[in-house]
Amino acid sequence: MIERLDPERYLPLALDLPGHGEAVDAERPITFEGCAEAVLAEAPERFALCGYSMGGRVALHVALAAPERVSRLVLVASTAGIEDDAERAERRLADDALADELERVPFEEFVERWRTQPLFAEDPPEVDELAREDQRRNRPDALAAVLRGIGTGAMEPLWGRLGELGMTVTVVAGDRDAKFQALGRRMVGLVPDGESVVVPGGHGLPLENPGAVADVLSQLSVRRAGAGRERCSVPGTFDAELADSRKAFGQ
């Protein structure tokens, strides 16, 4: 993603979230508040923020915690959480079960099981391989801590706070990712200044179609009259809530 952005316009900063990649030994428990603090500690004073999947949910927390520092927000294949209490509790139990499995079974067996989910069924072979490589960058016990701390089931829904976001918000989803298209449209309807964008691809857009995501980011910059070189920060992500922590802008 970084390679596809204009270096004259962007100064990208890509971060591994706590529990991922180089931040594998981050303090436990891992929380949304801790993740937001980690992003804000590394980011410049004012920046554009882009997050993918779990990284998008963390990005929402960052933007709500420090709206004066976020010039614009781009969410890729993400959500503001599960509103229904019973559904959220059920998801938390499922996330905890996955965390237990991560600590119990061989990691490669878990990666295989994860990548065969229906969500990824139509991924091109090269995207599937890239996603597996990203998963292998992580440590099973750390991913288990991430699931227990900032999995979808652990997140208090933020739908009621989206109206607080004063910056421009763009939500991006793939044309094969119907669930996140619908979630994106709903989020856009609740922010003061929002736009929903659908591009070719599935859930893993940063891997399958990084050029389209980079184009969305570039087009947004062009719309800003007199925009100079823009600082950008991207929390490392968790592909479909589990395993993609690539250090590349736009994820």
**Sheet with 70-76: strands ordered across:** 10-15, 230-235, 47-52, 70-76, 168-174, 194-199
Tens-level pLDDT at each residue, the chain (251 residues)? 888 888 888 888 989 999 999 999 999 999 999 999 999 999 999 999 999 999 999 999 999 999 999 999 999 999 999 999 999 999 999 999 999 999 999 999 999 988 998 889 999 999 999 999 999 999 999 999 999 999 999 999 999 999 999 999 999 999 999 999 999 999 999 999 999 999 999 999 999 999 999 999 888 654 443 444 445 555 544 333 333 333 322 22
Encoded amino acid at 191, one letter = V
At 4, is the secondary structure helix, strand, or coil? helix
Q: Which CATH architecture has domain 1-6+32-168+193-241?
A: 3-Layer(aba) Sandwich (3.40)
Return the pLDDT at 248: 29
Cis? peptide before 124, omega within 30° of 0: no
Number of residues that this document lists for the chain: 251
Place of tokens 């959500």: 79
Domain residue extents for the chain: 1-6+32-168+193-241
> Which residues are bridge partners to 76 per DSSP?
52, 172
DSSP run (H or E) holding 43: none
Angle, in degrees to the nearest 10, between helices 85-104 and 140-150: 170
pTM as predicted: 0.88
Token pair listed for 212: 């389209």
